[in-house]
Amino acid sequence: MAINFTPGPSQLYFTVEDHARKAFRDGVPSLSHRSSAFEKISKQATDGLKELLELPQGYHILFTGSATEIWERSVQNLVAESSLHFVNGSFSKRYHEIASQLGKQAHKIEVAAGEGFDSYSASANPELIALTHNETSTGVSLPLDFIHSFRDQHPNALVVVDAVSSLPYPKFDYTKIDSVFFSVQKSFGLPAGLGVWIVNERCIAKADQLQQQGVNIGTYHNLPTLIANAKKNQTPETPNVLGIYLLGQVVSDFLKRGVHTIRKETEYKAAILYQALQQHAIAKPFVQDKKIQSQTVIVAQTGAATETIASQLAQHGLQAGDGYGDKKKSQLRFANFPTHSKETYELLVDLLEKIK
Amino acid sequence: MAINFTPGPSQLYFTVEDHARKAFRDGVPSLSHRSSAFEKISKQATDGLKELLELPQGYHILFTGSATEIWERSVQNLVAESSLHFVNGSFSKRYHEIASQLGKQAHKIEVAAGEGFDSYSASANPELIALTHNETSTGVSLPLDFIHSFRDQHPNALVVVDAVSSLPYPKFDYTKIDSVFFSVQKSFGLPAGLGVWIVNERCIAKADQLQQQGVNIGTYHNLPTLIANAKKNQTPETPNVLGIYLLGQVVSDFLKRGVHTIRKETEYKAAILYQALQQHAIAKPFVQDKKIQSQTVIVAQTGAATETIASQLAQHGLQAGDGYGDKKKSQLRFANFPTHSKETYELLVDLLEKIK
């Protein structure tokens, strides 16, 4: 079977199939979510993630159905009136739209797809600042110092980071971030159907305050209900138990490998692919500015050669991801996740270099 | 490993593990949810369900994260002002609470846990009538003629049926019902993490109308967005692709067995267990009125002998479900789902009869 470079759902992490087999053998999928066996599974996943991401005290890990759900729940629970969104692609745009759909004053600072943001000086007074660390549609990453710069300018705002297709790669300074989220089918290489939402005490206080003011913060998945259950290592509803189990197992595999090693390998693989694209006769990196080139989703401008390149790679068992939306026929995207080995990336680069 | 009689998550349907193995082999968990391969998987599940449940034209099948989510989405999308809930246990109660939490005038007609409802005559004019077909907490089922009686009395209301732990057993007259929903970890014997929401055109029209009136009907999982995606055999977000695949496979297995056979076997198994409980020296059926005894979740009043009975069954590899909530130490619950074979039920009855 081909190695899948689509940026999500992507290639499964190579241990997942064995973990799933063990899960079925051990009866994990038919465990009650109110049993101590489930609580143990949930705790393994959340404790492991806290260690992997080096989260400080006071950060809580919550499970939802998807990261898309977290776009909605974060606005619903953390915004009474206004949010500010940095929009530079399809996914940051959708987050902004969701805030508008929920009836909030959703302000945005927008640049063209493929671009980053210049220096920003505070003007309005938003309650939530929404930053998409890694635009999966274009391969632009926001520099960490940009993300970390909002705390000082907006000490009262909650800084929320969509890190869907980047974590665990970025080494965030969590003292400058109130909430971060991802979905498991990207870098964690797991079957889709689970979102992971991390919040600090400031988020919880804000949701409590909105609830007291009579703002509609939702029901079973509002922040107070999620937190009350998470403190018992439970969830409000019957969750994707198998997904949470598999997450715990893969996080444990990542910890054995070491997050430092994962980061170094990610950078090595990104470097060789960007270099090959930079020197290529036909393809080139879509994002030119090195400061904002994503390390985890690398987008190639392939123009009229898109189909040729994709099919030549496919002949060697490598399935490139299509360009996103209207770039479907002029770009290719390459996920660079922990499951994509250095050897696979070296093969990808060799093959690309042969296409002239 | 023990056979699991807990009413959800319950014992997996016996084919699921093999289907999961094939899914991993075929790369299902890393399929893009925008690919034609996914659309085919989604269509197999929804076409199969339409056939299994004998749904008339104009009914649509939508996927959510859980049935709990459907409690919230149904109220959010179908109610501007008021709903009417029939409450006779913990789950019907929670549905009512969710409507209140969303700021609706949530009326209720409430009877004690374990009881059904007497004849009802229309008084108010609710937009949505919420009926819990099978109270998983107590083992009470509403008779089908009761569920079907609301259309005539409330022609303008939407009749919404929570059939979480009963479908595919009940043979509903869908011309009297506008929406029905379930989660896959009960009778379908699948890993948890997927809710199935069935709606007709009246529901869609109502959600469109609310949206035009400026009522907040949510974002990515509002009814218009779910429907627009479902028409393409897609979902708004990256869904639980593996769960949808497994649902399609198990529905296909059910179709081969025949829904008529499944219904007959369900009734046979329920009959022998209720009879054994009726004649038992220590245990007895919690629900005495035969007209409202659930065929799919059978609750035994076991009093002080609860632990003894559970442990004697466990010695023979049968894991009874605990009583729900404050009945944990005085009742046992037995799921009677398609995965629980006649032979297993005969063994259960034999063992129960030996306990005196």
Q: What band does A2 get if pLDDT is binned at 50, 70 and 90?
A: confident
CB contact B240 to A (< 8 Å): yes
Burial class (CB in 10 A: 0-12, 13-18, 19+), B12: buried
Q: Please give the residue that has the higher pLDDT: either A113 or B189.
A: B189
**Residue A9: pLDDT band with limits 50, 70, 90:** confident
Average pLDDT across chain A, whole number: 96
User: Where are chain B's structural domains?
Assistant: 3-10+258-354, 16-256
A224 touches chain B (CB under 8 A): no
Residue among B21, B30, B239 whose CB faces A193 most closely: B239
Write the residue in A10, A20, A33 that is nearest to B24 by C-beta: A20
Which tokens is A337 given?
């996740």
Nearest to A128 by CA among A166, A165, A177: A177
Question: Which chain A residues are closer than 8 Å to B242 by Cβ?
Answer: 191-193
Q: At what angle do helices B201-212 and B67-78 cross, to 10 degrees?
A: 60
Q: Give the number of residues written for chain A.
A: 356
Residues 165-204 of A with CB under 8 A from B: 183, 185, 190-194
From A71-75, A121-125, A311-315, the region with the lowest mean pLDDT: A121-125
Question: B293: closest CA among B133, B139, B118?
Answer: B139
Asked whether the beta carbons of B152 and B161 are under 8 A apart, the reply is: no
B249 vs B241: CA distance, rounded Å: 13
Q: Which of B19, B321, B3, B46 is CA-nearest to residue B191?
A: B19
Mean pLDDT, residues B122-145: 94
Q: Does A238 touch chain B (CB under 8 A)?
A: yes
Tell me whether residues A30 and B216 touch, CB distance under 8 A. Answer: no
pLDDT at B124: 79
Mean pLDDT over residues B17-37, rounded? 94
pLDDT band at B229 (very low <50, low <70, confident <90, very high): very high
pLDDT digits (tens, 9 = 90+) for A216-244: 999 999 999 999 999 999 999 999 999 99
Contacts of B103 in chain A (CB under 8 A): 216
Neighbour count for residue B124 (Cβ, 10 Å): 11
A337 burial level (CB within 10 Å; 0-12, 13-18, 19+)? buried
Residue A179 backbone zone (phi > 0: left; psi -120 to 50: alpha; other: beta): beta
Q: What is the pLDDT of residue A120?
A: 79
**Mean pLDDT, residues A264-289 taken together:** 97
Mean pLDDT of chain B: 96
pLDDT at position A118 is 85
Q: Is the pLDDT of residue B20 over 80?
A: yes
ipTM of predicted complex: 0.96
Q: Chain A contact for B210, CB < 8 A?
A: no
Query: Given this model, what pLDDT does residue A8 score?
Result: 79
Residue A321: the pLDDT is 94
Poorest-confidence range of A319-333, A335-349, B121-135? B121-135
Q: Which residue of A has its CA nearest to B217?
A: A102
Instruction: Give the pLDDT confidence score for residue A47 in this predicted structure.
Output: 98
Please report the pLDDT score of residue A304 as a whole number.
95
Query: Please, which residues bridge with residue B63 across strands?
Result: B196
Output the pLDDT for position A198. Answer: 98
Across the interface, of A9, A97, A242, the residue whose CB is closest to B191 is: A242
Nearby residues of A40 by Cβ (< 8 Å), 6 or more positions away = A233
B48's CB contacts (< 8 A; 6+ apart) are B248, B251, B252, B255
pLDDT of A186: 97
Picking from A31, A32, A218, the nearest residue to B72 by CB comes out as A218
Q: What is the model's pLDDT at position A119?
A: 74
User: Is there a contact between A274 and A266 (Cβ–Cβ < 8 Å)?
Assistant: no
Say yes or no for a CB contact (<8 Å) between A66 and B239.
Answer: yes
Between A309 and B10, the higher pLDDT residue: A309
Is the pLDDT confidence value at B59 over 80?
yes
Beta-carbon contacts below 8 Å between A and B: 163
**Whether B37 contacts chain A with CB within 8 A:** no
CA-closest candidate to residue B132, choices B323, B306, B297: B297
The answer to whether domain A3-10+258-354 has CATH 3.90.1150.10 is yes
CATH class of the region A16-256: alpha beta
- Rounded to an integer, what distance in angstroms lies between the CA atom of residue A108 and that of residue A128? 12
Whether pLDDT at B291 is above 80:
yes
B281-284 contacts at long range (C-beta below 8 A, 24 or more positions apart)? B281/B356, B282/B309, B282/B355, B282/B356, B283/B309, B283/B332, B283/B352, B283/B355
The verdict on a CB contact (< 8 Å) between B33 and A103 is no
**CB A152: neighbour CB atoms within 10 A?**
9
Residues of A in contact with B237 (CB under 8 A): 65-69
Average pLDDT over residues B105-119: 92
